[in-house]
Amino acid sequence: MTSLPSHLFADSPARDARFEVRELWQDMVNLPPDHPEKTLEFLHRQMNEEVNSIEMCARNLSDFPDAPWELRLAMARQCYDEARHVDAFRTLYEKRGGAVGRYPVLNFQYRILTAIDSLPARLSVQNRSFEAAGIDAIQEGLESSVRSNDTEFATLFDAQLADEVQHVRYANIWVHRLIEEGGPRVLFELVRSVAQANEALQVVSGGTIVTFPIASELRKEAGFTDQEIETARELAAKFGKSP
């Protein structure tokens, strides 16, 4: 198995014998768009990413027991949302003929996040970065599903999108609040951790991160400013590539 730098990645979450865990994007089953199993592999990979989301939220709850109650409640609700997403992806995956463990999985998001020891930084990386990028990807997937008249995918994406916007919104609120309360130290930890996460993403992706068109209106709804949205667009153009 590929060994990842310990200063960027924490230990991998547990997986049972059904799963083959890989560490780099290039080592996954990266099928061309017209391959007959492309959709199945996507559903399986996404199902595991949603499991990662549950695990990350659960770790935030266990690692930071003294966080404000309202924030802990929001993170617990996110656990519930992500569990519903896992169930939705697995249901559609198995309906279309898939079996759990058929394809390898990545746990890079969990390993990146749990290497960070600051809750505001974790919220910024998981919710304001990973989940915000997810908003862009889901919006693109929803539009594509509508165009192809795939109502099952469209229904799944529509429900998931509403949850993800809320996950980003509460993190935006709390990150700003925690920075105001903690001052420069919290801001420094956040900036350092985001840079660390970006470095780790470059390792996993091989230097090229897949990006989707920025969903500006949805990002505004999730609490991003116009300047933050424009910065995201510039970074995607500079470092990303289309799927």
Taking alpha carbons only, the member of 47, 87, 215, 85 closest to residue 39 is 47
With respect to residue 94, please indicate whether it lies within any of the assigned structural domains: yes
CB 162 within 8 A of CB 202: no
What's the pLDDT score for residue 180? Answer: 95
Helices and strands in the chain: count of H runs, count of E runs: 9, 4
What's the pLDDT score for residue 242? Answer: 61
Q: How many Cβ atoms are within 10 Å of 88's Cβ, its own excluded?
A: 20
Indicate which CATH number applies to the domain containing 57.
Answer: 1.20.1260.10
d(CA 60, CA 54): 10
Band (243; pLDDT cuts 50, 70, 90)? low
With respect to residue 33, please indicate whether it lies within any of the assigned structural domains: yes
Which SS3 state, helix, strand or coil, does residue 240 take?
strand
For residues 241 and 217, which has the higher predicted lDDT (pLDDT)?
A: 217
Backbone angles phi, psi at 73, to 5 degrees: -65, -40
Mean pLDDT score, 122-138:
96
Mean pLDDT score, 163-169:
97
Q: What total number of domains does the chain contain? A: 1
Mean of all residue pLDDT scores within the chain: 94
With respect to residue 69, please indicate whether it lies within any of the assigned structural domains: yes
Whole-angstrom distance between the N-terminal and C-terminal Cα of the chain? 26
Amino acid identity, residue 72?
R
Tens digit of pLDDT for each residue in 73-116? 999 999 999 999 999 999 999 999 999 999 999 999 999 999 99
With respect to residue 36, please indicate whether it lies within any of the assigned structural domains: yes
What's the pLDDT score for residue 239? Answer: 67
pTM for the model stands at 0.94
Band (235; pLDDT cuts 50, 70, 90)? confident
Tens digit of pLDDT for each residue in 131-152? 999 999 999 999 999 999 999 9
With respect to residue 9, please indicate whether it lies within any of the assigned structural domains: no
Taking alpha carbons only, the member of 105, 128, 104 closest to residue 116 is 128
Taking alpha carbons only, the member of 10, 13, 48 closest to residue 28 is 48
With respect to residue 7, please indicate whether it lies within any of the assigned structural domains: no
With respect to residue 125, please indicate whether it lies within any of the assigned structural domains: yes
Band (211; pLDDT cuts 50, 70, 90)? confident
| pLDDT reading at 35 higher than 60 | yes
Q: Residue 163 belongs to what domain range?
A: 21-241
The label of the residue with tokens 């394809």 reads 103
| pLDDT reading at 4 higher than 60 | yes
With respect to residue 2, please indicate whether it lies within any of the assigned structural domains: no
Band (210; pLDDT cuts 50, 70, 90)? confident
| pLDDT reading at 159 higher than 80 | yes
